[in-house]
Amino acid sequence: MRRILIIAEKPSAAKKIAYALSDKGVRIVKVGKTPIYATTFKGQQIYVAYAMGHLYNIVQKSGGWIFPVYNIKWERTSPKDRSYNERIKETIQAIAKIAREVDEIVVACDYDIEGSLIGYNVVKYACGEKYFKKSSRMIFSTLTRNELRKAFDRRLKTLDWPVIEAGKMRHEIDWIFGINLSRALTLSLRRVGDRERILSIGRVQGPTLKLLAEREIDINTHVPLPYWKARAIVEINGVKYVAEYAGGNIESEEKALEIKKIRDKYATVKKIERKVTKERPPPPFNLGELQREAYRIYRISPGKTLEISEKLYLQALISYPRTGSEQIPDSIDVKGIIEKLGEMREYRDLVQKIFEHSKRPKPVKGKGTDPAHPAIHPTGEKVNIKLSGNDRKIYDLIVRRFLASCYRSMTKSETRALLDIEGHLFVLKGVEIIDHGWLKIYPFKKVTEKPFPRIVEGMKLKVIRVEVEEKYTKPKPRYNVRSLLKKMENLGLGTKATRAEIIEILFSRRYLENPNNIEVTDLGMKVSEILSKICPEILSVELTRNVEQIIDELKSEYLTSEYRKVIVANTVLGLYSVLSKMKKNEINIGQSLVGKDFKPHVEGKPIGRCPVCGNQLLIVRSKKTKKRFIVCYGRTTGECDVTQPLPQKGRIRPLHETCKYCGYPLLACVSKGKEWVFCTNIRCPGKRKNV
């Protein structure tokens, strides 16, 4: 019997694959603590194991927190890593064990560059390179039974090497740019005395910061220009109505004055138009839209929404939330899910409405697609644990959106009357909802109704007055987290799973403040300013575009590892001179970053003037090693970098005298009852001559 190990990207996918490829049911076998699905399919023994996203990551081969650094390698995600998960090690061991007993390894991770790379790394490092020739690749875009079976039968006989290389390339370029520039910024700050703060920048952080910085400049340099808005107040059967000037905003003062001069007491109804429009229900959520709506309606942050969705997913209440899709494939039992939702008291009425509308409800399809997952939808599972606060709100939002997407359109009628007053045209508008449709189920969209009077063409209406209001142009509004996420999505910055997190990083670096009305801090502006001079690539979306373009062009052809290395080297070529410039200008950059508000803070005992720069020399203790040493106060502003070691034992007493050989202060040290005098300069020319 042929034995096959299938590697999925994550537990949920592994389960679906196992059940799709099973003739007689699925068993779970434990290898150590790791569960693995076992099944038989068309006379083959199948094991399905899963990774948990990337199990391997790029690390620096050797050396410390320095730059430039280009020596990198792939390594199992370590406990030091932020993304470490304690099950990683066991998972790898389990996969390695089963791999030894099978005839073939099938990579069945998501079909994108990260998925191909995840699978490749598992084969290479968990199993060993010799398994490459036994490895194949299953390609599918949804986790439905039919597609999975087809994908298994028609799998590629080898790994998809060009896609793997594309994935490696993306990781390497991001790492080299991000780590080096982040270190260069952080170490500049350290040079001028701020030893706490970490700065960062990267392919996604950079353009996002720049976007916000440009908006900040726009707002601060906006020159308000005058414009006018005109409206006529008319009276019909004793009721007042407002008709807006038909030409929109008036930019010429002359025109505004002309309208102001209207004295006619009557308006003539020139034309009436009535339009009935239908608005289709919104499609079910993808992650981005869920995050935006949760923020708009409940002010729940995108990060929080993701966290809650993940929890709901683990409780089996909703489908996989990290999806870009706004579509529910036909293979999902929509009717069954809705029936189950109907068993919950709070949704009974809504569900009844849906079935009155259609016996076979079908969610409308949105534009978003995703290679691996359908749109977010409830599973219909009973809510066992009582959901609290925000959890409840998010769950309810998902349920309502899903139900609404199966319901009928909203219908409204819009009426417009064109009024002529002394040759100037005004518009009288009315809006009436004829049928709320899906709005009854998803009531979070505001449609304001406006009554329309009973009038006919040719009628004369009484004009109470014509108002002309002077206004001034305003700058574009500041971003909030929601609009920023949307903008990033449009620009192709980050992915659905990382965008919210990256915005949070920008806040934690203190580049940004006030999430509801985002302002760029002085520090954020400085980082953007400095990089736009020294390394504009990191602030431009072009880096993302280039990487994408290279990947798109090459993954369909034969992108070899040699070729990848050449591309990475070419892409990071310019970085070398950027980094050496940053190193040379560390102090300038640091000073510019800390700005005028920065107050260097060093506590220590003064012992006399520094012979190099004239500032005070201080005795301080290292936070890290607890050892005492001498530092020049000038180091806090970057103008000096003198430090000197001290004996660690004994009581030290300043003598307020300077060394006759080098000008450094002299100190006395008392230890074990003896006192001796020494020069604080470790390289004092007088050291050998006994001071």
Partner DNA sequence: GCAAGGTC
Strands 2-8 and 104-108: parallel
Strand-pair partners of 353: none
CB of 331 to DNA, least distance (A): 20
CB of 412 to DNA, least distance (A): 39
CB of 219 to DNA, least distance (A): 24
Residue 70 DSSP label: -
Q: Which residue has the tokens 């929404």?
A: 305
Q: Which residues bind DNA (CB under 7 A)?
A: 9-12, 52-55, 57-60, 64-65, 77, 80, 82-83, 85, 87, 110, 112, 114, 118, 170-171, 174-175, 178-179, 182-183, 186, 190, 198, 200-206, 310, 322, 372, 494-499, 502, 505
- Burial (0-12, 13-18, 19+ Cβ within 10 Å), 390: middle
CB of 173 to DNA, least distance (A): 9
- The backbone torsions φ and ψ at residue 644, rounded to the nearest 5 degrees and listed phi first, read -140, 140
Which C-beta is closer to DNA: that of 108 or that of 410? 108
Which C-beta is closer to DNA: that of 175 or that of 479? 175
CB of 631 to DNA, least distance (A): 17
Residue 438 DSSP label: G
Strand-pair partners of 137: 107, 156
Residue 477 DSSP label: P
Residue 301 DSSP label: -
Which C-beta is closer to DNA: that of 310 or that of 420? 310
One DSSP character per residue, 303-356 reads HHHHHHHHHHHHTTSB--SS-------TTS-HHHHHHHHHTSGGGHHHHHHHHH
Which C-beta is closer to DNA: that of 242 or that of 314? 314
What does the block give as tokens for 587?
């102090």
CA distance 504 to 483: 14
Residues 604, 620 contacting (CB under 8 angstroms): yes
Which C-beta is closer to DNA: that of 152 or that of 175? 175
Which C-beta is closer to DNA: that of 502 or that of 642? 502
CA distance 290 to 322: 10
One DSSP character per residue, 91-148 reads HHHHHHHHHTT-SEEEEES-SSHHHHHHHHHIIIIII-GGGGGGEEE---SS--HHHH
CB of 326 to DNA, least distance (A): 17
Which C-beta is closer to DNA: that of 155 or that of 168? 168
* Catalytic residue of the set 131, 320, 407, 664: 320
CB of 440 to DNA, least distance (A): 34
CB of 192 to DNA, least distance (A): 13
User: Of the candidates 34, 168, 37, 28, which has an alpha carbon nearest to the alpha carbon of residue 89?
Assistant: 34
Strands 34-41 and 135-137: unpaired
Phi-psi region of 155 (alpha: psi -120 to 50; beta: other; left: phi over 0): beta
H/E run at residue 549:
helix 541-555
Torsion angle defined by CA atoms of residues 600, 605, 607 and 608, in that order, rounded to the nearest 10 degrees? 30
H/E run at residue 488:
helix 481-491
Phi-psi region of 600 (alpha: psi -120 to 50; beta: other; left: phi over 0): beta
Which C-beta is closer to DNA: that of 373 or that of 401? 373
Q: Which residue has the tokens 């209440």?
A: 317
Catalytic (active site) residue 347: no
CB of 205 to DNA, least distance (A): 4
Which C-beta is closer to DNA: that of 266 or that of 507? 507
Task: Give the active site residues.
Answer: 320
